[in-house]
Structure 1
Amino acid sequence: MIVSNVSLSGCAGVDSAPCAGPAEGHPGGGSQRTTLTPTGNLVVAVCLGFIGTSGLVNNLLVLVLFCRYRMLRSPINLLLVNISVSDLLVCVLGTPFSFAASTQGRWLIGAGGCVWYGFANSLFGIVSLISLAVLSYERYSTMIAPTEADSSNYRKISLGIVLSWFYSLVWTLPPLFGWSHYGPEGPGTTCSVNWTSKTANNVSYIICLFVFCLVMPFLVIVFCYGKLLCAIKQVSGINASMSRKREQRVLFMVVIMVICYLLCWLPYGIMALLATFGPPGLVTPEASIIPSVLAKTSTVINPVIYVFMNKQFYRCFQALLCCETPRRGSSLKSSSKVAVRGVAVAGPRRTNDFLFMVATLGQPAAEVPQLGRSFEPTIDITKPPSSDIHQPVVVSLVAHTDG
């Protein structure tokens, strides 16, 4: 993942002797002592311990729910699981090493372990970021799809998952082959890309990493969810009360997503640029540890925002706690298409008008939220068909009572 880095004195590269050699009698070697005070190391260790434990539990729970309940095995939920897998790998293969280093006040697993830590955490972090962008694009493409639903179409989602891992490898393998390199960062308890080297080789990599792995996913997310919000506003005239409720819910979800994304990753980006282009010593080791900890909180936040605020997952979570069968909400099974009562809504404009009435960010995009006891969206077909494609679709809500 993208992290800010101020290398330790005498430890600017992974091949430096202080980083590779034995330290204070500990077999296997490690870096020199951290510049943080014992209290500072303790605070960092407590934060990392909480983040690692919470992220592990949250993401494991997502995988358990997905494996146990067949109703969750839709294409778009598979993308949510991919995000949880990447976050889980950070909690298993990354956070424990930085936690142990903080408790001891020094890096514990040597130069080779430092390179592995930097590569693995960068890979899994970028996978998570790209997956969030792919998720937003999938929801956007779902809105504009003019064809019928197909709940078994895993091809597009699978392609998105493969793309997220391949794209991440494209940007995390180069430091292993000479385009920049991985090394100690901050106070010496974590490792990442070397942000402080002023060489053209290193600066060019950092600029590309910042643009293509932080800024670009953010722009995709803002664009796709922004278009969704605009579309909801456009259908306010069809059913004002329902659209207003949907608009408020979607706006809240978008704001939360964007704020959490910026909170976790923007400090990393800023610190990285300051360390790369600023004067030496501008970013202190003590200051650089804060963005590192904030970025790791994404492993805790992502499952909460994208999964447990999803009504479908939440119903299954309640069922798991109560050992009962999850209740089903009325839904349209879809990953990228829409149909209503066996009749497809023709044309991009009409598809948008209908789908935006049921789109929600807290659950798969095509799932219809529960309204009252049982509401079912219908198309008014009492009027004869019109050849005017610009006529708005008349949407009504038909309430059904149980017996």
Structure 2
Amino acid sequence: KTWHPQMPAFARKKVVMREQGGEDRMNSARFSPNLTMNMAIMPRSGYSLFAAILGVFSVAGILLNALVIIVTLRHKQLRQPLNYALVNLAVADLGCAALGGVPTVVTTAMGYFSLGRIGCVLEAFAVAFFGIAALCSVAVIALDRYVVVCRPLGTVTFQTKHAMAGVAASWVWSFIWNTPPLFGWGGYELEGVQTSCGPDWYSRDLGTRSFIICYFLFCFAIPFSTIVVSYTSLLHKLFAQAGTTAKAEVQVSRMVVVMVLAFLLTWLPYASFALSVVIIPDLYINPVIAAVPMYLTKCSTVFNPIIYIFMNRQSHQTQSLMSVSNEQLDKSTFSL
């Protein structure tokens, strides 16, 4: 029986071992994500475990982000400049969980990427598009807190029009930098344990490498620097004027700081891995280890809504209003 790409991973291992001359040759084969997977990278139980974990996080991410969006849109008191950016982040996380997390759960459970070349490109584009939009949204949130708390522009405040401009810019910026691989500059390939796709970090092609360098600079380094500078100034201001800063602003700033830290902790490992591979093309990273940062980014979609729900005072007030309204509705129904 000859191996083919649609054969389940746990079945391919035996075929490859027989055709290549045993387990020693199979273990010495150098991993390359530019090739369709031609061997089982880990045991069948490993794929099942990865799929189960990502499945839980993806479902939770879809439900919680949808809840944040619906509640914010239904209640006018939540429609404030900062919340526009937070809802935009929830939309980006929802898209990443639905169009990136769910397909990866399916392919990982199967043990191989079953969606074909077009599916690979679409899945990679969706994750990159929504992921960069989310990162830009975090940068907009950081700027909001910096302007509101540190007041670098004096009496100029962060208003709804500024928030909407930031929201629009995050999507335009992400679209600009994620469409070139669809037209030949850069590319999307299988990565990690070969059950999902992403930017072609391993390519030695000069054009692709130039895209990856520009992509890292404009889609990660610049937003990340904006976040770091904004929050360094913000934290300095909060510590320096702990007694004079409004309590509400302190609470919101704490929530956003936790949100930013959670976002960076889930994305920094993947960015570091990608940069290492770009700088050192011959660097070998075990595929299972390389897959962990990728799965971590797809699990990150659940953290922001949890932080928003539990640390946002306005969210608590809205939940109380919803509870009171439900109680009144129940009483009215009972009296009828």
Q: Does 1:211 align with 2:213?
A: no
The 3-state SS of whatever aligns with 1:94 is helix
- Residue of structure 1 aligned with 2:105, choices 99, 110, 118: 99
CA-to-aligned-CA distance 1:260-289 (integer Å, 9 cap, x gap): 233211110121122223353611211111
Aligned to 1:159: 165
* Distance in 2 between residues matched to 1:232 and 1:10, nearest whole Å: 48
Q: Does 1:270 align with 2:276?
A: no
Aligned to 1:366: none
When the two chains are superposed, the root-mean-square deviation of aligned CA atoms in Å is 2.8
Judged with a 3 Å threshold, the aligned counterparts in structure 2 of structure 1 residues 296 and 322 are, in CA distance, closer, same or farther, namely: farther
Aligned to 1:283: 285
* Distance in 1 between residues matched to 2:73 and 2:249, nearest whole Å: 32
Q: Is the 8 A contact 1:32 1:106 kept in 2?
A: no
Matches for 1:282-321 after TM superposition, within 5 Å = 282-320=284-322
Q: Is the 8 A contact 2:60 2:302 kept in 1?
A: yes
Aligned to 1:222: 228
Q: Is the 8 A contact 2:148 2:157 kept in 1?
A: no
CA-to-aligned-CA distance 1:157-188 (integer Å, 9 cap, x gap): 11111100010011101111111101111111
Matches for 1:39-54 after TM superposition, within 5 Å = 39-54=45-60
Which TM-score applies when normalising by structure 1? Answer: 0.67
Q: Does 1:172 align with 2:178?
A: yes
Judged with a 3 Å threshold, the aligned counterparts in structure 2 of structure 1 residues 279 and 210 are, in CA distance, closer, same or farther, namely: closer
Unpaired runs of 5+ in structure 1?
Answer: 1-7, 14-18, 20-30, 326-403
- Residue of structure 1 aligned with 2:258, choices 250, 256, 259: 256
Matches for 1:2-401 after TM superposition, within 5 Å = 12=34, 19=36, 34-143=40-149, 144=151, 145-147=153-155, 154-236=160-242, 240=243, 253=255, 256-278=258-280, 280=282, 282-320=284-322, 323-324=325-326
Judged with a 3 Å threshold, the aligned counterparts in structure 2 of structure 1 residues 34 and 60 are, in CA distance, closer, same or farther, namely: farther
* Alpha-carbon shift at residue 296 of structure 1 (Å): 1.4
Q: Is the 8 A contact 1:187 1:286 kept in 2?
A: yes
* Alpha-carbon shift at residue 40 of structure 1 (Å): 0.8
Q: Is the 8 A contact 2:186 2:200 kept in 1?
A: yes
Q: Is the 8 A contact 1:47 1:293 kept in 2?
A: no
The 3-state SS of whatever aligns with 2:185 is coil
**Count of residues paired in the alignment:** 296
* Distance in 1 between residues matched to 2:288 and 2:323, nearest whole Å: 42
* Distance in 2 between residues matched to 1:133 and 1:148, nearest whole Å: 19
* Alpha-carbon shift at residue 36 of structure 1 (Å): 2.1
* Distance in 1 between residues matched to 2:215 and 2:34, nearest whole Å: 20
Judged with a 3 Å threshold, the aligned counterparts in structure 2 of structure 1 residues 59 and 246 are, in CA distance, closer, same or farther, namely: closer
* Alpha-carbon shift at residue 75 of structure 1 (Å): 2.7
The 3-state SS of whatever aligns with 1:183 is strand
Judged with a 3 Å threshold, the aligned counterparts in structure 2 of structure 1 residues 118 and 108 are, in CA distance, closer, same or farther, namely: same
CA-to-aligned-CA distance 1:288-309 (integer Å, 9 cap, x gap): 1100111112211122234541
* Distance in 2 between residues matched to 1:221 and 1:47, nearest whole Å: 29
Q: Is the 8 A contact 2:238 2:245 kept in 1?
A: yes
* Alpha-carbon shift at residue 148 of structure 1 (Å): 7.9
Q: Which amino acid is 1:270 matched to?
A: S
Judged with a 3 Å threshold, the aligned counterparts in structure 2 of structure 1 residues 211 and 175 are, in CA distance, closer, same or farther, namely: same
Q: Which amino acid is 2:88 matched to?
A: N
Q: Percent identity?
A: 34
Q: Which amino acid is 2:49 matched to?
A: V
Judged with a 3 Å threshold, the aligned counterparts in structure 2 of structure 1 residues 92 and 300 are, in CA distance, closer, same or farther, namely: same
Judged with a 3 Å threshold, the aligned counterparts in structure 2 of structure 1 residues 149 and 265 are, in CA distance, closer, same or farther, namely: closer
* Distance in 2 between residues matched to 1:160 and 1:255, nearest whole Å: 19
* Distance in 2 between residues matched to 1:10 and 1:193, nearest whole Å: 13
Once structures 1 and 2 are overlaid, which stretch shifts more, 200-209 or 89-98?
Answer: 200-209
Q: Which amino acid is 1:85 matched to?
A: V
Q: Is the 8 A contact 1:132 1:221 kept in 2?
A: yes
* Distance in 2 between residues matched to 1:65 and 1:122, nearest whole Å: 27
Aligned to 2:14: none
Q: Which amino acid is 1:189 matched to?
A: T
* Distance in 1 between residues matched to 2:40 and 2:49, nearest whole Å: 14
Aligned to 2:19: none
Judged with a 3 Å threshold, the aligned counterparts in structure 2 of structure 1 residues 80 and 254 are, in CA distance, closer, same or farther, namely: closer
The 3-state SS of whatever aligns with 2:197 is strand
* Distance in 2 between residues matched to 1:139 and 1:247, nearest whole Å: 9
* Distance in 1 between residues matched to 2:126 and 2:253, nearest whole Å: 34
* Alpha-carbon shift at residue 114 of structure 1 (Å): 0.3
* Alpha-carbon shift at residue 142 of structure 1 (Å): 2.6
* Distance in 1 between residues matched to 2:324 and 2:109, nearest whole Å: 38
* Distance in 2 between residues matched to 1:67 and 1:34, nearest whole Å: 46
Aligned to 2:13: none
* Distance in 2 between residues matched to 1:199 and 1:222, nearest whole Å: 32
